[in-house]
A and B are shown apart, each in its own frame.
Chain A
Amino acid sequence: MSEDAELVLRICSGDLDAFETLYLKYKRQLYQAALAITGDHGAAEEILQDCFVRAYAAMGKVDTSVSLSPWLHRIVVNLSYNWTNQHRQWPLALDAVMDRLMAGPSASPELIAEGSELREIVREAVAALGFKQRVVIVLFYLQGFSLPEIANILNCPVGTVKSRLHYACKALRKKLSEDRRLIGEVAYGTF
């Protein structure tokens, strides 16, 4: 029996410690996915909470023969979709905490500024993508899921995931090559 299956059985018998173990196992991945999709810390936290509450309520229906990760990610994606629909505007300004986390202690101020700007430009480009393409980008590049795993999470064919990833990358490439801030700095369009 897998670790997840064992946890599910324990949770169903009312063991909340097992539920905490499950939370500790997946909280980071799920929070990061929600944060990358929504771009909002408050929303990501809310989505994480809702995800685990929903998961707990539906624990009796879960398929224990496979890992819970795709199922939990599916809940996060659906909740993120709902949130995005309610809050159409993408928060472009990222928290200062993020910049502090990104900048290492030995990095020079110029390098920090350059790296920070570049990251912001890419994140803006990712944020400008449609929800479906953004989700695929996040699941593939941030979470490291394979294409079949993403197809399982999104409940769609692998070909659709491939297509979304292809068009997302194409759109990002175009957007980055046209970004004036990158001209002369990174020369991304020549890649």
Chain B
Amino acid sequence: MVRFSEQANYTQPTSAEDDLGRLIRWSLEDFKVEPPVRAWPKILERVREIKAPMKPRRRLRRALVPVASLVQAVVISALLLALGLGVDRNLSMPQSNYQIHPTPTVQKVSVPQGVLEDMLRGYKLARMELEPPAYKRGVCP
């Protein structure tokens, strides 16, 4: 796209490649005016009322050595080393440093003989009540 220089003294648009651009630029020339002189004192008055700005922020320079990559490399190499050497924490730690939890087991409880017989009798009675009566063929109650 053809661009005009600031100093271009353009009078009328001509039929060229960027004619629309020329026309727009030419039309907007009217806006190239100075702001009123009274603007600055007003700005100054308003600026004096507000607190002075703080010092500009400093842009942090990027470190020459990429720190993130370095940390990643250290962590990965430490893990690989630990796996490679087969470090066993249980062997290196003293026995007193960790607690031993007993494995849960099912314990046998001794039940008296009379109780077992009673339970068996109760079971048989309950079963008899639940089962429907067996009828012989052709005989109805």
Contact = CB atoms under 8 A, between A and B. Distances in A.
Interface of A: 5, 8-9, 11-14, 16, 19-20, 23, 27-28, 31-32, 35-36, 44-45, 48-49, 52-53, 56-65, 94, 97-98, 101-102, 115, 118-119, 122-123, 126, 137-138, 141-142, 144, 169, 172-173, 176, 188, 191
Contact of A32 (B15, B24, B31): B31
Given A102-B29, A119-B26, A141-B25, A45 B36 contact: yes
Nearest to B30: A98
Contact of B33 (A32, A49, A53, A62): A32
A102 B12 CA distance: 12
A53 B3 CA distance: 33
B88 interface: no
Contact of A44 (B26, B29, B35, B59): B35
B27 A123 contact: yes
Contacts of A118: 27
Contacts of A64: 56
Contacts of A52: 43, 47
Given A28-B34, A53-B43, 20 more contacts: A5-B56, A9-B56, A12-B53, A16-B44, A20-B40, A27-B39, A27-B40, A32-B32, A45-B36, A48-B35, A53-B47, A58-B53, A63-B59, A64-B56, A115-B12, A123-B30, A126-B28, A144-B4, A144-B6, A176-B23
Contact of A60 (B12, B15, B56): B56
A31 to B, nearest CB: 4
B89 interface: no
Main secondary structure of the interface of A (DSSP, over half): helix
A63 B46 CA distance: 23
